[in-house]
Amino acid sequence: MPLEERDQPLLIIEDEEETAYEKTEKVHIAEEGDETDIEYGGGVGCGGAPPFSWRKLWLFTGPGFLMSIAFLDPGNLEGDLQAGAIAGYSLLWLLMWATAMGLLVQLLSARLGVATGRHLAELCRDEYPTWARMVLWIMAELALIGSDIQEVIGSAIAIKILSNGVLPLWAGVVITALDCFIFLFLENYGIRKLEAVFAVLIATMALSFAWMFGQAKPSGTELLVGMLVPRLSSRTIQQAVGVVGCIIMPHNVFLHSALVQSREVDQRKRYRVQEALNYYTIESTLALVVSFAINLFVTTVFAKGFYGTEIANGIGLVNAGEYLQEKYGGGLFPILYIWGIGLLAAGQSSTITGTYAGQFIMGGFLNLRLKKWLRALITRSFAIIPTMIVALIFDSSESTLDVLNEWLNVLQSVQIPFALIPLLCLVSKEQLMGSFKIGPFYQTVAWLVAALVIAINGYLLLEFFTSEVSGIMFTSVVSAFTAAYVAFIVYLISRGFTFTPSRFKAHPNL
């Protein structure tokens, strides 16, 4: 197919209907001809970036904090509380290093987006044959749906808590479904105001869980030992796998490479690209430090209150608020409602970013543009419809929601290689990245992290299916799926080490 034809969208319903992050009106960073351009304009070939500026850091701040919300979604909070209740403080070191691994992956995603001016889904569309990119698209959509269902359930649980049970789970699902229209409304006010809304939601989470942390008064000594001294036992291996497995979110890898393009970066000037990468590195690191602190608050609150108790193994997202209330009481601000507020902020912020990710994934892989309301409705329906069925049939059945959550974790674990491997392959290609491709050392570290994450999630899958799968027919289906799954992963890795001319070339100055 000629290049001109392949570049045409499969379907254009309305060109101008783009998200705030897709519009050409990006956040302006530096005026052409200002003192920075004058000073560095003749020295592009010398490399380096302009000196640090707090003003520019502020202008670049936003995408990293939106990305960090995936580290704070209800699924992560459930993993935190279960790790604290069952393993105490012993897995805090793993939480810290898992966050660091997540930061590495997200920085690679940002690097790809800044250096190429395109996001991961778009590049996958160009770099892989039709059959492979369709498989990658389906896998990305499945991962997003699984994550979105968990986020919707978390929001619905929070609404039920804050309404004193007046609003059942299904009503919370309906209310949460409406947030996509809030998202569309906020988009009209521009990128920076939309980012400010997310900042308020993150601050709400931080204040809520910090207040709970203060109420619980965990041991400072045990907290420091838990962070600095690696400890792992056979009794806590499942929680350890959960801590690492839920940090890398497949849809978030696609999302961050798109979010960074909201800033005006001239790809023709190497030092401008380097400048953007420097500021995004600082901003993303700060964002994940905040997310680590919030996860730390949740883990230690449940470690202090429930570690070593008879109910430790029975705590989940559904009943966590009740157990907190029984343990720490009410006071001026009942801890049950503080927990509900934090959980609601986590659920609402993550569902909106999930809608964003769905739009980028659909548009990137399929080159498909739809009206904003239709695209948001499609991405939201994939999560709302199955969640509504569960809510109507089982309402607050703890066992049912726990089983559903386990299956959703498995669904997302399956998808992780299909985001990580294309990212690592693409960010290592010189003809795509130019001088911003990652070097041998960085490649080695990144592949080791990817291999570790994939192995950990493979362990989770093996343990899950060993305990759940029964019957010759079901075992045969799972075996066939596993063979196809492994074969596709091998294909992706082998293609990454095989030179293939890219349809998208790096700018000569890069």
Instruction: Spell out the per-residue pLDDT of the chain, length 510, in tens.
Output: 444 444 444 433 334 444 444 544 677 776 544 444 444 444 433 445 578 889 999 999 999 999 999 899 888 898 899 899 999 999 999 999 999 999 999 999 999 999 999 999 999 998 899 999 999 999 988 888 888 888 888 888 899 999 988 888 888 888 887 776 776 677 777 788 888 989 999 999 999 999 999 988 898 899 999 999 998 887 887 788 778 777 788 889 999 999 999 998 888 888 889 999 999 999 999 999 999 999 999 999 999 989 988 888 888 888 888 899 988 876 667 889 999 999 999 998 888 888 888 888 888 898 876 676 777 677 667 767 777 777 677 655 555 666 677 677 777 777 888 999 999 999 998 888 988 999 899 899 989 988 887 887 777 667 666 665 555 666 677 777 778 888 899 899 888 776 555 666 666 666
Place of tokens 């991962």: 143
pLDDT of residue 142: 85
In-domain check, residue 437: no
Place of tokens 């968990």: 150
In-domain check, residue 506: no
In-domain check, residue 10: no
CA 501, CA 498: separation in Å to the nearest integer? 10
In-domain check, residue 251: yes
Kindly report the pTM of this predicted structure: 0.87
CA 17, CA 15: separation in Å to the nearest integer? 5
In-domain check, residue 282: yes
In-domain check, residue 499: no
pLDDT of residue 6: 43
CA neighbor of 406 nearest in space, from 149, 73, 172, 173: 149
pLDDT of residue 15: 40
CA neighbor of 254 nearest in space, from 141, 409, 157, 367: 141
Distances (CA, A) of 187 to 115, 182, 261, 263, 366: 26, 9, 16, 16, 23
CA 502, CA 493: separation in Å to the nearest integer? 17
Q: What is the per-residue DSSP string for 33-59?
A: TSHHHHHHGGGGGG---PPP-HHHHHH
The structure tokens listed for 154 are 């978390």
pLDDT of residue 56: 92
CB atoms within 10 A of CB 46: 9
CB 140 within 8 A of CB 254: yes
The structure tokens listed for 253 are 């890898």
Region of residue 165 (phi > 0: left; psi between -120 and 50: alpha; otherwise: beta): left
Side-chain-side CA neighbours of 250 within 13 Å: the count stands at 32
For residue 248, what is the domain's CATH number?
A: 1.10.4160.10
CA neighbor of 510 nearest in space, from 258, 274, 282, 281: 274
Q: Which domain holds residue 360?
A: 54-413
In-domain check, residue 241: yes
CA 105, CA 70: separation in Å to the nearest integer? 13
Which run of H or of E encompasses 368? Answer: strand 368-369
pLDDT of residue 500: 59
CB 291 within 8 A of CB 68: yes
The structure tokens listed for 126 are 């160009």
In-domain check, residue 25: no
pLDDT of residue 11: 39
Q: How many domains does the chain have?
A: 1
CA 171, CA 354: separation in Å to the nearest integer? 20
* Residues composing the chain: 510
